[in-house]
Structure formats: structure tokens, C-alpha cells
Amino acid sequence: MKKKLILMFLVIISQIFSGCNGSEKGNWSETDKQKFREAMYDLEELSNFGENKSKVIECYLRKCEANYSSYYEADLDVNGCTKLALECGKEVLSDGGEKSNWSETDKQKAREALYDLEELSIFGENKSKWIECYLSKCEANYSSYYEADQDVKGCEKLALECTNEVLSNK
């Protein structure tokens, strides 16, 4: 009984505090937004995004603001916020691309990564042809270079298809 009373007290207090800060779902107070940003900029894990760190944080803020009535409420839902954070990471790293329409940045990253692969030297003068075949297939199957880079088995299949195409056209 005592635990129930304490739990009810905490729920009531949290609702009072979340109501006092002027935040609501879809429209957080500037105070809540500032608390959120400060907490995010302090996270070491986000440094992996480099120059995209601010984009990830702002995307994440928009998603949390749309799904929670306050920073406090969002902070309590670790699983839900983790899902939103992963969505933002993927969105930012995909650079706004979509299947069959990658951004020029993604295409350039893919080409650079592929041209640096020593294993592709076996194609000799057909190396560029193989790379363009592979890039075309990846673009048709994935919404971004980032997404393609996460699917090793799927990309191995596409690489084999391009190898067969390039070798059969010699």
C-alpha cells in the first residue's frame, strides 16, 4: 500500500511539473528544448556523427517534441526515445536519399569507397564499369549509401551480379 501511495505521489508531482513548464505534445517550452539540447550535446556517442551532430540532435528534438508532452516525459521513455534516435541517425546519414534516387553526396561516397578497394583491380579496365553497375544496383535496392553499407549479405549478392555481368560482357 505504501509503494502505491509513493508511486501515485510521483505521478501527480510529475504531471504538475510537466504542466508548469508550458510544454505540450508538439509544442515544448523553450526551457524544455534547451534542456534537451544541452543533454544531447553532452553525449559522447553523438560525436560519431561529426559535422552531422547538430542535424541529428534537431531531428531527434522534433521527433521527441511530436511524441511527448515534455522533456521530462521523453526522458522517462528510454525505449521509445532510443527508437526515435535511431530513426534520426538513419535519416541524417541517408542524406535524404530514396531508392533509385540517391543524393550526389551518397553516390560520391560510394564511388570513393569502391575506387579505393584493391580487390577491384582484378577487373582491370572494367573496374569503372563494375563500380557503376554495383552503384546502380545499390541505388535501386537501398535508400542511401548508409543503408547499403549496413547490409553486407545483400551487397555481396549485388556484387556477384555485377561481377557476372561485367565478366560475361568481356
Gap between the Cα atoms of 5 and 23, Å rounded? 26
Query: Any idea which of 9-13, 15-19, 68-72, 127-131 has the lowest mean pLDDT?
Result: 15-19
Report yes or no: 26 and 65 within 8 Å, Cβ to Cβ.
yes
pLDDT digits 0-9 by tens, 63-122: 899 999 999 999 999 999 889 888 888 777 765 555 567 888 888 889 999 999 999 999
**Banded model confidence at residue 12, pLDDT cuts 50, 70, 90:** low
Residue 87 sits in the same domain as residue 68: yes
Mean pLDDT for all residues in the chain: 83
Domain count, the chain: 2
Q: Write out the residue range of the structural domain in which residue 111 sits.
A: 104-168
Dihedral class, residue 149 (left if φ above 0, else alpha if ψ from -120 to 50, else beta): alpha
pLDDT at 154 over 60: yes
Residue 162 sits in the same domain as residue 110: yes
In a domain, residue 19? The reply is no
Residue 48 sits in the same domain as residue 81: yes
Residue 80 sits in the same domain as residue 120: no
In a domain, residue 152? The reply is yes
* Count of residues in the chain: 170
Backbone angles phi, psi at 10, to 5 degrees: -65, -40
In a domain, residue 6? The reply is no
Gap between the Cα atoms of 5 and 8, Å rounded? 5
Q: Which of 100, 103, 164, 109 is nearest to 138 (CA)?
A: 100
- Per cent of the chain over pLDDT 70 is 83
